[in-house]
Every structure is written in structure tokens, then in C-alpha cells.
């Protein structure tokens, strides 16, 4: 096991800056997930850690050692890819152990022992003599993981390892990966564009956009205290509602409503954007009143999701998504009374998108202009 340090890492492909001045410390034994939209630089970051891609600027350390110029094979890492990268003509066992004795670092007995132990952990002992063509997608992915485990690396690097699996198997393998990490405790960097995977697997989650670090935090803190509008809208599904407001003396005003911002009496930041998650809006008749006031909205679309009813509600031409309780008979055109959780409001700078204020009383950040 080992910690990883990325210091001022930049990667350029001709005129494309794929990763820009990235600083990140992954702790020993930590499971870090790198998430972001397509093209944000996730895979490039992982490939630079692995050594498959050179860095344009910056330093990478693994276990305190500067590995920036080292070959991938010298870095003590093992990679698991989306496409499994198995040799079709080799058995599962051979795929797992292939190349291990070329460096002379393992005896035949050690290799056999490691293969059997990895197979047991992954529950594929019965499949070791099969070739990849005779394995299901999930089984192939286990073999690919087995190959990484056999090497007992300092670090696992995983690039969208579950993407080729169907939805049900993905959920199952996700839980198995979490269990595997609990058992082995190996430092892991895991790349995905799937925010559910990021939230469920990561001790901490790194959010990238346009090659730049947006926030690195625990999953819950990303959800509760996004540092900017990009993170607020990327984490959480359906995405956070955003609405332009004017803020003066702790009150957010919109032509259709005014909302008092708790514990922010002196906050006056003018034009800004108020964020509220669909799950923090509710139909007023569904809860004991916590909302300081309620608003009328006209329902334009209803989406029954089974465990909830997603409503699209219009207030003065502005659309909000509201996660209501399931099994309600609400139809488009109905007028509903909306409440909101006053402790779950967010405010962002209209130009920079930086977070200005979160109403959660647990937040430790004092917004600008607020005296306490």
C-alpha cells in the first residue's frame, strides 16, 4: 500500500490541455474516485499515474518515491480497464498470471498460490481453466480484477471497470469492489463518469471539469456543500434546481417569491443563483410545516419513478423539479402548494459559479458580507 501525490500536474496534447495544474494527495489505503463528464481528463489523470501517459509538467510520487519518469512496470501499480484487456487464447488463470514470472520476482509456487488466493477472493476458482470467450461479462471482469490482485500492487488503478456490465451486474460488482477494498485495503484510484459509483465507492471523490479540479471531498460533503455550481449540478440526480435571484439583507428575491436565508441577516450580494435540490422541495400537504412559507406551482410534467413522483412545476415561467411522494394522483395542469427545507438552500455567484452560502447549520463557512 502507498500514498499517491500529484503535484501541479499538467498534460497537453498539442493545443489541448487535458489536465491543468492538478494537485491531489491520495492517502495510503484510500479509495479515491475521479468523476466528471466525458473529456474532463479522468482517464488522462489515471494514465499519468500509471505511466502509460507522460506528464507535461509536474511530479507524481507513489509511496514517497518520485515516479514521474519511471516505466509503468516499475511503479508498483496494477490496472483494471473497462474492456478487461484479456488475451482470448489464454485460460482465465493464465490471463491472471501472465507476465508475472518474466521479471523473475515470483517463484512458480508463489504465482500458483497468488492465483488461487485471488480466485478464491473473487469466487472464480471453478472458472480458471476457461478461456474468456466462455465467460460472461461479469466473470471476465473478475478475471481482470484477479490479474490485478495477483500482483499485490501498491496501488490499483481502475478505469471505468464496470461500464461494460448490465445495470444489475454493475450494482452487484460495485458492492463486491467495495468489499474487496475492505479486505485488501489497497490504495485505489477509480475513474468513472457514473456519479452513483463515485458516491457509493469513494472514501473521497475528486470532481474534474475541463481538466481542472473542482472539488475533492467525501461523498456526503460534495452533496451537502458543493463548492461551486458545477459540482452542485453534477452531483445529485435529478440535478439541483437553479434560479437567478437578487440577495439583499439576507433575503433572496425573485419576481415570484422572496425567501429568507437562515442565519444570514447581513448577506447582501446582489445578483446570484439560488440552488435547491428536488428532494428538498416538497408538496406542502406531505410534511409537517418546516417551510417558512409556501408557493403555488403549476405542474407541467409528472414522472412516476416508483419510489417517488418527480414533478416539473412552473412558478412564473421558471421550472422546478420536485421529488414528491409516490402514488399521488397529480396530473399536468394541477396547481400544487410547494414547501422547501430552509436548511438546504445554496447560493452561488452568478458570474464565477463559486458557492457563496449554504444554509445548513452544520456548515463551517461564513459567507462574505456576513458578520457573526
Which positions touch ligand ATP (CB under 6 A)? 13, 16, 18, 36, 38-44, 193
Identify which of residues 148 and 207 has a Cβ nearer to ligand ATP in the complex: 207
CB of 41 or CB of 278, closer to ligand ATP? 41
State the cell numbers at 130: 476457461
Nearest residue (CB) to ligand ATP, 38 versus 371:
38
Q: Are 273 and 350 in contact (CB under 8 A)?
A: yes
From 22, 28, 10, 114, select the one nearest 64 (Cα to Cα). 28
- Residue positions counted in the chain: 372
Cβ-contact 219, 198 below 8 angstroms: yes
Tell how strand 335-340 and strand 281-283 pair up: antiparallel
C-beta closer to ligand ATP: residue 40 or 338 = 40
Closest CA to 197 of 232, 225, 159, 230: 159
**What is residue 125's three-state secondary structure?**
helix
Q: Label residue 256 exposed, middle or buried (CB < 10 Å: 0-12, 13-18, 19+).
A: middle
Rounded to a whole number of angstroms, the minimum distance from the CB of residue 23 to ligand ATP is 17
Who contacts 104 (Cβ-Cβ below 8 Å, separation ≥6)?
none
For ligand ATP, the closer CB: 41 or 226: 41
The nearest distance, CB 141 to ligand ATP, in angstroms, is 18
| Nearest to 339, CA basis, from 317, 316, 322, 314 | 322
**Cβ distance to ligand ATP smaller for residue 36 or 278:** 36
37 versus 326: smaller Cβ distance to ligand ATP: 37
Of 43 and 97, the one with the shorter C-beta distance to ligand ATP is 43
Q: What string of DSSP letters covers 183-231?
A: HH--EEEEEES-HHHHHHH-SEEEEEETTEEEEEE-HHHHHHS-SBHHH
Minimum CB separation of residue 102 from ligand ATP in Å reads 28
Helices (H) and strands (E) in the chain, counts: 8, 21
Phi-psi region for residue 312, left (φ > 0), alpha (ψ -120 to 50) or beta?
Answer: beta
Least distance from ligand ATP to the Cβ atom of residue 156, Å: 17
Nearest distance from C-beta of residue 214 to ligand ATP, angstroms: 13
Of 139 and 160, nearer to ligand ATP (C-beta) is 160
Classify residue 54 by its DSSP letter. -
Residue whose C-alpha is closest to residue 77's, from 17, 1, 156: 156
Amino acid at each position: 500500500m502507498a500514498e499517491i501525490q500529484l503535484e501541479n500536474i499538467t498534460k497537453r496534447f498539442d493545443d489541448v490541455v487535458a489536465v491543468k495544474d492538478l494537485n491531489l494527495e491520495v492517502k495510503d489505503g484510500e479509495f479515491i474516485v475521479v468523476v466528471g463528464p466525458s473529456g474532463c481528463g479522468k482517464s488522462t489523470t489515471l494514465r499519468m499515474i500509471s505511466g502509460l501517459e507522460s506528464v507535461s509538467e509536474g511530479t507524481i510520487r507513489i509511496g514517497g518515491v518520485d515516479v514521474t519518469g519511471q516505466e509503468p512496470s516499475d511503479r508498483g501499480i496494477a490496472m483494471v480497464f473497462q474492456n478487461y484487456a484479456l488475451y482470448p487464447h489464454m485460460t482465465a488463470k493464465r490471463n491472471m498470471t501472465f507476465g508475472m514470472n518474466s521479471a523473475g520476482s515470483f517463484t512458480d509456487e508463489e504465482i500458483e498460490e497468488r492465483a488461487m488466493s485471488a480466485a478464491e477472493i473473487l469466487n472464480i476458482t471453478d472458472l480458471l481453466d476457461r478461456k474468456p470467450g466462455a465467460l460472461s461479462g461479469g466473470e471476465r471482469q473478475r478475471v481482470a480484477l484477479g490479474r490485478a490482485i495477483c500482483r499485490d500492487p501498491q496501488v490499483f488503478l481502475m478505469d471505468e471497470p464496470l461500464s461494460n456490465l448490465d445495470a444489475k451486474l454493475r450494482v452487484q460488482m460495485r458492492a463486491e469492489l467495495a468489499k474487496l477494498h475492505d479486505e485488501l485495503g489497497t490504495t485505489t484510484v477509480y475513474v468513472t463518469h457514473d456519479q452513483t459509483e463515485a458516491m457509493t465507492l469513494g472514501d473521497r471523490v475528486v470532481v474534474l471539469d475541463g481538466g481542472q479540479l473542482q472539488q475533492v471531498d467525501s461523498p456526503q460533503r460534495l452533496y451537502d456543500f458543493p463548492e461551486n455550481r458545477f459540482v452542485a449540478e453534477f452531483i445529485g440526480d435529478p440535478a439541483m434546481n437553479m434560479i437567478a435571484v437578487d440577495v439583499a439583507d439576507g433575503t433572496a428575491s425573485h419576481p415570484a417569491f422572496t425567501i429568507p436565508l437562515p442565519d444570514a441577516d447581513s448577506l447582501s450580494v446582489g445578483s446570484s443563483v439560488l440552488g435547491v435540490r428536488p428532494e428538498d422541495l416538497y408538496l406542502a400537504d406531505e410534511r409537517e410545516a418546516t417551510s417558512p412559507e409556501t408557493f403555488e406551482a403549476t405542474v407541467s410534467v409528472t414522472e412516476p419513478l416508483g419510489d417517488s413522483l418527480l414533478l416539473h412545476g412552473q412558478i412564473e415561467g421558471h421550472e422546478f423539479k420536485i421529488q414528491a411522494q409516490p402514488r399521488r394522483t397529480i396530473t399536468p395542469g394541477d396547481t400544487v402548494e410547494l414547501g422547501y427545507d430552509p436548511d438546504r438552500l445554496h447560493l452561488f455567484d452568478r458570474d464565477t459559479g463559486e458557492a457563496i452560502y449554504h444554509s445548513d447549520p452544520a456548515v463551517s463557512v461564513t459567507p462574505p458580507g456576513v458578520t457573526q
